[in-house]
A and B are shown apart, each in its own frame.
Chain A
């Protein structure tokens, strides 16, 4: 499933998969808290409603940055699912993140600014480990291209257990889960009032939500890469299990301060990721 077909499948299918994933997330979260929770299709209802709200735009730059965010996410995802370069995918993801932060910086709300600053700090925290994960996959399979990694004869996970654990750690940041949901504060009534999305409303907020669904699907695709020669269904099942693990972590941890976030993710990156790469280099 590579080439243009894979990219198209991502562009069309990811919002549905991501929305269902978000719905399942909310139900599982509710059950963990002893609640019944919303229907499975709730995220779609929310986004549909937001598209029907009137549009309040705080300045002309904000929608532009929002579209930049969405566009680079789509580029990153299309690159990844068409079997393209993993490094380029990661860079496009980083550019998308910068656009999101710029959009928040362009507004006047202090909450928006705090969210944007925290988003940049989060990027500082996860980027090294994300690059280590890409390097690890290269060291294990000999290629940066997703289609070559897919063709490898044994799961990269066998050689990269440390890198995988480190990647799971920063995945919590990328999925905006507690204890690392610094920039958006998962719930709107908490201290930064949704931080980065404070000043987005109606259709613009809906677009951000859809963009997050794309992002989550892309990240779970990344998780699948570690299991590749296994049956695709098994790989997807393992990726979903990973997501459920993240939901569990989300529900059992309080939010950390940004200092701890940066320190922890760098140390984890060094201890698990770099050490794994060094050992792999030595035993080869």
Chain B
């Protein structure tokens, strides 16, 4: 059963965003957009999360933080870059301490465009990311099955 599609839990991390995209991420959780309809919960805890939402550009200070958050998430997991800064660094790209978008630190699966990204497009992005999450879950199960079969063969 495609349970990952039905219950993706979010972790939202603000790298060094201007806060515009973050406000829109939180707007998606308000009664007007009500993300919980899709079973989506904002967890705030990497160990409970399936989807990492990154806003803002990666710089010297948060590079290790976001890597650590990503490492603490149990597989399968996806990363969604929200807004132009998470894509390329945006207007901060030329700053002396900026490494670029979220991809400078972690593998990003999907980008949501906008400056700031609209709540509708963030929801759309998360729903699309969840399909990738499901594919990863299926692949993980496939790998596990192959491993067991190989172990049985070896025995």
Contact = CB atoms under 8 A, between A and B. Distances in A.
Interface stretch (A51-59, A122-130, A239-247, A264-272): A51-59
Contacts of B9: 188
B36 A38 contact: yes
B122 to A, nearest CB: 16
Contacts of A49: 3-4, 6-7, 50
Contact of B3 (A34, A48, A200): A48
Contacts of B140: 54
B97 to A, nearest CB: 28
A45 B41 CA distance: 13
B137 interface: yes
Contacts of B48: 188, 194, 197, 201, 205
B4 A39 contact: no
Contacts of A52: 3-4, 137, 141
Given A49-B3, A54-B140, A194-B48, A38 B43 contact: no
A34 B45 contact: no
A198 interface: yes
- Among B43, B45, B47, B74, which residue has the most Cβ atoms of chain A within 10 A? B47
A12 B142 CA distance: 31
A35 B41 CA distance: 14
Interface string B1-37: 1011011010010000000000000000001001011
Contacts of B76: 53-54
Contact of A188 (B6, B36, B45, B74): B45
Interface string A179-207: 00000000111100110011111100100
B39 interface: yes
Interface string A22-38: 00001000100111111
Interface string B65-81: 00000001011100000
Given A194-B45, A198-B45, A35 B39 contact: no
Contacts of A48: 1, 3, 7
A53 B44 contact: no
B36 A37 contact: yes
Contacts of A34: 31
Interface residues of A, number: 32
Interface in B80-98: none
A42 interface: yes
A199 B36 contact: no
Nearest to B75: A54
A46 interface: yes
A45 B47 contact: no
Given A42-B7, A45-B7, A56-B74, A37 B42 contact: no
Contact of B47 (A26, A190, A198): A198
Nearest to B133: A49
B45 A30 contact: no
A33 B35 CA distance: 13
Nearest to B30: A35
A212 B9 CA distance: 19
A49 B7 CA distance: 7
B31 A193 contact: no
Q: Closest 4 CB pairs between A and B? A: A189-B44, A188-B43, A201-B47, A45-B6
29 contacts: A26-B36, A33-B31, A35-B31, A35-B37, A36-B34, A37-B37, A38-B36, A38-B37, A38-B38, A38-B39, A42-B7, A46-B7, A48-B3, A49-B3, A49-B6, A49-B7, A52-B3, A52-B4, A53-B50, A53-B76, A54-B74, A54-B75, A187-B44, A188-B42, A189-B42, A189-B43, A189-B44, A194-B43, A205-B47
Interface of B: 1, 3-4, 6-7, 9, 12, 31, 34, 36-39, 41-45, 47-48, 50, 72, 74-76, 137, 140-141
Interface of A: 26, 30, 33-39, 42, 45-46, 48-49, 52-56, 187-190, 193-194, 197-202, 205
